[in-house]
Chain A
Amino acid sequence: MSLNVETARGPVVKTSGWRELWSKEDWWAIWIGLGIVLAGCALFWGGANLRWLAVLPPRWTAFSQVTADLAANWPRYVTQFVFWLAAFSTALTALGYKAREFIPAFAFLYLAALVVFIVGQWDSAVYYNLEPPLIALFAGLVIANTVGLPRWLDAGFRVEFYVKTGIVLLGATVPFSLIVLAGPVAILQASIVSIVTFLVIFWVGVKLGLDRRLAATLGVGGAVCGVSAAIAVAGAIGAKKEDAPIAITAVILWAIVMIFVLPLAARGLHLPTGVAGAWIGTSEFADAAGIAAAQAYGGYAGHVDGIAGTSEQAIQAFTLMKVVGRDVWIGIWAFVLAIVATTRWEAKTAGSRPDAGEIWRRFPKFVFGFLIASLLITAVTASYSLADYNKIAVPGLIAPIKDLRTWAFIFCFLSIGLTTRFKDLAAAGRAPLLAFSSGVVVNVALGFVLSVYVFGSHWATLGQ
């Protein structure tokens, strides 16, 4: 693909300040996610709940159970489809997409998600490794890289939007006390791994002759939050326009490999779900990829002998490690590297001097939604005893939100595959891939040691 931008003459868009509230996906994920949580709370107070809307296919052994469920519940599926369509199309229209492109794309996505969900609910699915995230990703990759779909359908395949919406909903299922107690350990572990991984990639990259800005862009891509970190830091330090695409290619290739490798390796080692979630949170490169891997591993809980813990522990440990431990620091990385680039590296003709405002501007705002959702549910259920919490609050309030979260994540997993066209990716070159891969090796090994041996007991008993 040509990187020539001379022909680009689109309008300049300023989204900072209050405009960000309706012009960034992060905030729309908050509005939708918190809207669901608040609706759930309101219904719960009124003695009702979101269960009717939060329909999902049942566990089945014979396919007739699926057809019976669809025959009985089709109005609920249709209503849920309309609900998601209304919420997402409102947001995407505000972001500049065309509803006439989004609607058919999302209809395709919802039907595909339903099929993936049904396959994943099969009793023997775990035996055949048919975990919904892995099926969705694999099916999407096969479709996108073989027969292909029209490009305009990409309007409905919004990986980041769906995963952020899912993470905000995830906040409602994580007690705030857990974030407070486990957050510092996550930050400590993630910081150790992030700094070491960055330094390894940067050092190897410079030794291989890469420009420092490219080496730094690759470094944060491997150390902090993948593609998002790479584009954030590339912009902050004034990297060449070819640098970010190289980092994006490296991140995508390794992130997809790790979606399959990390759960399978953890399964082979019979790691407890919380420990595996922490390892995935430390060593995956993107939120969407990590959620896919963590949810796939969580699916083994209770189905594979020798794997202790719950499916929620895998997701919670991953989220604490990745979102709280790594993602929220991207602004600081961008700010610090901008200072280093300005004072220590070769001068650029264009660019701005470092600005502390970058820390706020680049903050992944959806994290606020995650925290607020957690606070809201924790406050609403604060007066319940543990027995009442499990008997009343879980089925009436938390479980429906969790099921809607699962839908959002499946939309995301399918979208990863459907938007990843390998032939479109920029050629990364041997040296950048070698530098990034060296960081991957160190990251995975160090993440394993910290998750299993140093903080293993903490993650194995997360939330208990």
Chain B
Amino acid sequence: MTLIETFRAALKPRADGPPGCFGCAHFHNDTETIQRVLPGISSFSSAHASVRADDGLCARHDTLINGRGSCADFLGRP
């Protein structure tokens, strides 16, 4: 996808897609987890700040993500 196509797509409303990270067992975004894996976050920011939105950790891919994506490794929460 080119830069322009990506930009246009980003402005379009979202259609219902596959289950996202919020329903995935690999995804963790509770405050306690965020503060534990981001040491120092409370010194000059906060896990409760608006800028963090709903970001969380993908334990499957070891990444910090916004939780609005999906991937082939989706694992439903029990």
Contact = CB atoms under 8 A, between A and B. Distances in A.
Interface of A: 1, 3, 5-6, 8-16, 20, 23-27, 95-96, 154, 157-161, 225-229, 231-232, 234-236, 238-245, 248-249, 251-252, 255, 285-289, 330-331, 335, 338-340, 342-344, 348-356, 358, 361-366, 416, 419-420, 424-426
Contact of A160 (B22, B27, B44): B44
A425 B43 CA distance: 10
B14 A355 contact: yes
Enumerate the 10 nearest inter-chain pairs by beta-carbon distance, A residue then B residue, closest first: A352-B69, A10-B30, A235-B55, A227-B45, A286-B44, A160-B46, A8-B33, A354-B10, A352-B68, A25-B48
20 contacts: A12-B23, A12-B28, A13-B31, A14-B22, A27-B50, A154-B42, A160-B44, A160-B46, A228-B45, A231-B45, A231-B52, A335-B10, A339-B6, A339-B10, A352-B20, A352-B65, A352-B68, A358-B53, A416-B44, A420-B40
Contact of B71 (A286, A350, A425): A350
A442 B58 CA distance: 35
A23 B53 CA distance: 11
B43 to A, nearest CB: 5
Which of A26, A161, A228, A229 has the most B CB atoms < 10 Å from its CB? Answer: A228
Interface residues of B toward A: which range? Answer: 35 or more
A160 B40 CA distance: 12
Interface string B49-74: 11111111111111111111111010
A235 B65 contact: yes
B46 to A, nearest CB: 4
Given A238-B63, A354-B10, A426-B40, A8 B50 contact: no
Contacts of B71: 349-351
A364 B37 CA distance: 22
Interface of B: 1-3, 6-7, 9-11, 14, 20-23, 27-33, 36-46, 48-71, 73, 77
Contacts of B11: 356
Given A25-B49, A154-B42, A12 B68 contact: no
B54 A426 contact: no
B63 A240 contact: yes
B76 to A, nearest CB: 12
A419 B48 contact: no
Given A227-B44, A350-B61, A16 B53 contact: yes
Contacts of B61: 348-350
A359 to B, nearest CB: 10
Given A161-B46, A285-B44, 16 more contacts: A1-B36, A1-B39, A12-B56, A20-B50, A159-B43, A232-B51, A235-B64, A238-B63, A245-B37, A338-B10, A350-B58, A355-B10, A355-B66, A363-B50, A419-B43, A424-B39
A305 B47 CA distance: 43
Given A349-B73, A362-B50, A245 B66 contact: no
A25 B46 contact: yes
Contacts of A331: 51
Nearest to B14: A355
B43 A227 contact: yes
Given A5-B59, A248-B41, A354 B54 contact: no
Given A12-B56, A160-B44, A286-B45, A244 B64 contact: yes
Contacts of B50: 20, 24-27, 361-366
A426 B64 contact: no
A228 to B, nearest CB: 4
Contacts of B53: 15-16, 232, 235, 358, 361-362
